[in-house]
Amino acid sequence: MPATCEDLLSIAVPNDHDVTSDHHPAVSELLRRVTPFADELGRRFAAAGHELALVGGPVRDALLGRPVNDLDFATDARPDRVLELVRGWADAVWTIGIEYGTIGLRKGDHQLEITTYRSESYDPDSRKPDVTYGTSLEGDLARRDFAVNAMAARLPGHEFVDPFGGLNDLKLKVIRTPGRPEDSFGDDPLRMLRAARFAAQLGFQVSPETVGAMKAMADRIEIVSAERVRDELSKLLLGAHSRAGITLLVETGLADRVLPEIPKLKLEIDEHHRHKDVYEHSLIVLEQAIAQEEDGPDLVLRLAALLHDIGKPKTRSFVEGGRVTFHHHEVVGASMTKSRLTALRYPKDVVADVSRLVELHLRFHGYGTGEWTDSAVRRYVRDAGHLLPRLHKLTRADCTTRNRRKAAALARTYDQLEERIARLQQEEELSKIRPELDGNEIQQILGIKPGPAVGKAYKFLLDVRLDRGPIGKEAATEALREWAREQELG
């Protein structure tokens, strides 16, 4: 007799992945939480002569005791038939994925996707999968990316289906394809990135044969659209073990195709010209930035930490005495960051924010032992703008020296800078700094009409505000008039 989900409650996964009822919820508990609607939906399909099963990620996450949000179902019913069966039952329905056999719907507080059994593969020259429909649940599970995602629970009977040993892989903490990895990656090359992503999210090891296939087939990733690559990279970076994911991309050669700036950080070091391992340094900075996050994973901060030194290979110079310099690598790196993230189709605000952090990440080192004037501190805050909290974290993360005395001194100095920023912030509201005269007042004082001259005057007054602090409208007016006389305005 087939095993039911309830039977699984007696199977323990070692360590923190115990699935016994005394610890973490298993699939049957998940189904009980969404009952009556899951079983009700299963009965609705069964009455019409169709199969329905909860599949993939929700089953895996339930067995791992992870939060389960959206629910994925698979069925032998074709999309048009699915629409008929959920009409009048679902609170909302959308068909944005219907060309791939997927119908989305909402029932109460739950969001569901129902996908027709399918198989999909890539033409060697195509960026989009060719979708063909299948006829059995086992066949549908066989085409899924990894065995841990190829488990299901039939509805309404709750029969557990695990034809490829996914439950055992959860015990062993292994990422492995249901069949030959070469076949799986040939069908969808993005699965190679997904392997690294799941390693980053779950902290699992990727099986040796899977890693071997990733190395052999890395060039196949080039047929996948930038948007799909971007989404997997983002999920990888947001994982709890993102360093492991990045390391796997570099070791398999996938990073050479999707994020080539990272493996290039492995600069050759000779006995005459020594400098720190930039690649290893960048991974440590990523980890140290993550350790400072306060409100959950921060994609912008993590991207900036990973990419902050990518300008070093292009700017490396050897000087007398065995020293190595990387002059202006932050400026070059900011430009490279903008180009790479744009090519990966990241949103403009993400591109701008990450690039700006890369550009600013060295600014603090001009602070020395506190020689900056209040004007310099104002400019630091002004230039960082809304990125200041992230810049604080990135700057602190960028200290990877093993010299404890040096590290402590840098930390104290940055503490002092933050204290000065806080004091000036309280006194002057630095984040809201504006000239003490607005555009209308400038025009009135100088007797000029709207145009470029007003913008130049505004910038001059902003510099005055940053340099001298609050001086009042009367002094600002006098400074403006003096500047206008020099510019032969008004």
pLDDT reported for residue 26:
60
Per residue in 173-186, pLDDT tens?
A: 999 999 999 999 99
Token match 């890395």: residue?
A: 218
Q: Which domains does the chain have, with CATH numbers?
A: 5-172 (3.30.460.10), 173-259 (1.10.110.30), 291-432 (no CATH), 439-487 (no CATH)
How far is Cα 358 from Cα 407, in angstroms, rounded to an integer?
21
462 touches 426 (CB < 8 A)? no
d(CA 439, CA 297): 41
pLDDT in tens, 18-64: 433 333 346 666 667 665 688 899 999 999 999 999 999 888 988 88
ω before 14 within 30° of 0 (cis)? no
* Cα distances (Å, whole numbers) of residue 415 to 27, 308, 396: 49, 22, 10
Q: Which two tokens stand for residue 487?
A: 């510019």
- Residues of the chain with pLDDT below 70 are 1-31, 33-36, 119-130, 268-276, 321-322, 427-432, 489-490
Per the DSSP assignment, residues forming a β-bridge with 317 are: 325
Contact in structure between 216 and 182 (CB atoms under 8 Å): yes
Give CA–CA dist 344/150, Å, rounded.
Answer: 29
Residue 376's pLDDT is 85
pLDDT of residue 421: 86
pLDDT at 5: 55
The pLDDT of residue 270 is 46
Cα dist. 171→44, 207, 263 in Å?
Answer: 34, 14, 32
pLDDT of residue 455: 85
The pTM (predicted TM-score) of the whole model is 0.81
